Amino acid sequence: MAENKTGFSSSFGAIMAAAGSAIGLGNIWRFPYICGKYGGGAALILYIAFVFLIGMTLLLSELVIGRRSGHAAIQAYASLKPKRPQWRYVGVLGVVACVLILSTYMVVSGWTLNYFWESVSGALSSVEDGDYAAHFGAFASSVTAPVACLIVFAVLTLVVVLGGVQSGIEKASKILMPVLLVLVLLLCVRSLTLPGASKGLYYLFHPDFSLLTWEGVLAILGQALFSLSVGMGVMVAYGSYLPKGDNLFRSAMWITGCDTAIAVLAGVAIFPAVFACGQSPEGGPGLVFNVLPVVFNSLGSVGSVVFGGAFFLLLAVAALTSAISLLEGIAAGFSESLHTDHKRTAVVVTVGLMVLGVLIALSFEGGVLSGIRLADMTIFDWFDKLSGAYLPSICALLTILFFGWFMKKDDIEDELSNHGTVRTPWFKVFYYFLVRFVAPLALVVSLVAGIWGE
């Protein structure tokens, strides 16, 4: 049963922190592109169904496991099933997934800091011949700038985590999340008022079911899980910090709702401007570092400073609150199971991640370490592949099986209803069915299909 430890001070702070984890690079550079590519409105409807029915089911189960046990990932599962300590390996898997993701995430987030600086200093608008692909290639394959940016980003993340749950993570999230909302709204207004913006809205929202392929369905499901930060034990750690009186279902709805709203707004901020400027849609680093600078450049010198700066700040803020949750998930997981000091553990983990990060950054295409290859893939490619691959799905599947088939139903209901004080009529009607059958089946299908498709 949960022991007392310092947690979030209010429901609002807790929701901001968890939404901060969920809202990350994925919302901005992947979600809108996936939507457009796989059928606009058709993909959006499916995404909403997946994120609320499957993603939120997983989110809620992680929050319950965390709050009920009072522990972060590695200890949580085993402490709820003391006779079967091997369940701790589910938490270990989650922490390994966090390490893989965060080391790559920090490198890319560092790039966004560099681009923020280049936007506000005006350097980005004076790139030779407007050849942004070459500019990005030269930057990402150099040594000093990417490594320096990685270190700055890692230190920022660490400083917040060292501040503690209330004065670090909660406080930072309560400031950064409203900033993020203002930035995305500002960009939406600019994008929507450009001549020709409607083509972008058509791309994003016009439902075309013929584009919704099987591959698209899998990509949409994967995005729904990644976007809610589930399958890595991060939400278990945050669950253990949730106030006891919080209505977990309501918090999970808020987190999922905020995450989805920002993803849709990011699409509205990006694609109308991309189409208005005659560029073709893309996703990932190609969109952010090659296509969007062309769009910002077309807005004139002040426009490119203001809107380019706002966009890269938006990315950096979204990345920072996600990175904070990943670092906290790792540090809390390790410090609890190894009985080490939380802050010292966070420092050691960050140093380790920086070393990994430097190896990853320098092995990007054309970089000094890009010659080191295994099976024709660089270190960067390997980390990118592994972090996006099966680990989170396996961890999510084991979590939902643990929750649905191994935890006592009464205990779950007790936690969700705050010992009977909150009504939970939905629990028996559909939630338990989703937990036991629908979510595991969806995860098995996506895992099998993913492995099959390799």
Q: How far is the CB of 146 from ligand PHE (least distance, A)?
A: 20
Query: Is 191 or 229 the residue whose CB approaches ligand PHE more closely?
Result: 229
Site for ligand PHE contains 424 (CB under 6 A): no
Contact stretch for ligand PHE (CB under 6 A) within 214-222, 244-252, 318-326, 348-356: 318-326
Look-up of token digits 């080391």: 103
Site for ligand PHE contains 227 (CB under 6 A): yes
User: Where does residue 116 rank: exposed (0-12), middle (13-18), buried (19+ CB within 10 A)?
Assistant: buried
What's the gap between Cα 29 and its chain centre? 11
Site for ligand PHE contains 232 (CB under 6 A): yes
Q: Which three-class secondary structure string do you get for the chain?
A: CCCCCCCCCCHHHHHHHHHHHHCCHHHHHHHHHHHHHCCCHHHHHHHHHHHHHHHHHHHHHHHHHHHHHCCCHHHHHHHHCCCCHHHHHHHHHHHHHHHHHHHHHHHHHHHHHHHHHHHHCCHHHHCHHHCHHHHHHHHHCCCHHHHHHHHHHHHHHHHHHHCCHHHHHHHHHHHHHHHHHHHHHHHHHHHHCCCCCHHHHHHHHCCCHHHCCHHHHHHHHHHHHHHCCCCCCHHHHHHHCCCCCCCHHHHHHHHHHHHHHHHHHHHHHHHHHHHHCCCCCCCHHHHHHHHHHHHHHCCHHHHHHHHHHHHHHHHHHHHHHHHHHHHHHHHHHHHHHHCCCHHHHHHHHHHHHHHHHHHHHHCCCCCCCCCCCECCECHHHHHHHHHHCHHHHHHHHHHHHHHHHHCCHHHHHHHHCCCCCCCCHHHHHHHHHHHHHHHHHHHHHHHHHHHHCC
- Tokens found for residue 258: 């905020």
Site for ligand PHE contains 393 (CB under 6 A): no
Q: By Cβ distance, which residue is nearest to ligand PHE?
A: 24
What is the distance between the alpha carbons of residues 325 and 71, in angstroms, rounded to a whole number? Answer: 15
Site for ligand PHE contains 325 (CB under 6 A): yes
Among the listed residues 33, 38, 87, 226, the single contact to ligand PHE using CB under 6 A: 226
Contact stretch for ligand PHE (CB under 6 A) within 46-54, 226-234, 276-284, 442-450: 226-234
Site for ligand PHE contains 22 (CB under 6 A): yes
Query: Is 306 or 323 the residue whose CB approaches ligand PHE more closely?
Result: 323
Among the listed residues 109, 256, 290, 322, the single contact to ligand PHE using CB under 6 A: 322
What is the distance between the alpha carbons of residues 114 and 344, in angstroms, rounded to a whole number? Answer: 29
Q: How far is the CB of 115 from ligand PHE (least distance, A)?
A: 17
Q: How far is the CB of 323 from ligand PHE (least distance, A)?
A: 8
Contact stretch for ligand PHE (CB under 6 A) within 17-25, 47-55, 57-65, 438-446: 17-25
Site for ligand PHE contains 234 (CB under 6 A): yes
Site for ligand PHE contains 229 (CB under 6 A): yes
Q: How far is the CB of 161 from ligand PHE (least distance, A)?
A: 13
Site for ligand PHE contains 293 (CB under 6 A): no
Site for ligand PHE contains 25 (CB under 6 A): yes
**Integer angstrom CA distances of residue 13 from 8, 17, 20, 230, 313:** 6, 6, 10, 19, 22
Contact stretch for ligand PHE (CB under 6 A) within 20-28, 69-77, 167-175, 358-366: 20-28
Among the listed residues 13, 14, 18, 21, the single contact to ligand PHE using CB under 6 A: 21
Query: Is 232 or 269 the residue whose CB approaches ligand PHE more closely?
Result: 232
Query: Is 224 or 361 the residue whose CB approaches ligand PHE more closely?
Result: 224
Query: Is 224 or 277 the residue whose CB approaches ligand PHE more closely?
Result: 224
Site for ligand PHE contains 326 (CB under 6 A): yes
Q: Kindly state the number of chain residues that form the binding site for ligand PHE, as judged by CB under 6 A.
A: 15
Among the listed residues 13, 17, 19, 27, the single contact to ligand PHE using CB under 6 A: 27
What is the distance between the alpha carbons of residues 339 and 335, in angstroms, rounded to a whole number? Answer: 5
Pattern of binders to ligand PHE over 100-119, x per CB under 6 A?
A: -x------------------
Contact stretch for ligand PHE (CB under 6 A) within 180-188, 224-232, 360-368, 374-382: 224-232
Q: How far is the CB of 232 from ligand PHE (least distance, A)?
A: 5
Q: How far is the CB of 390 from ligand PHE (least distance, A)?
A: 15
Binding site for ligand PHE (CB under 6 A): 21-22, 24-27, 101, 226-227, 229, 232, 234, 322, 325-326
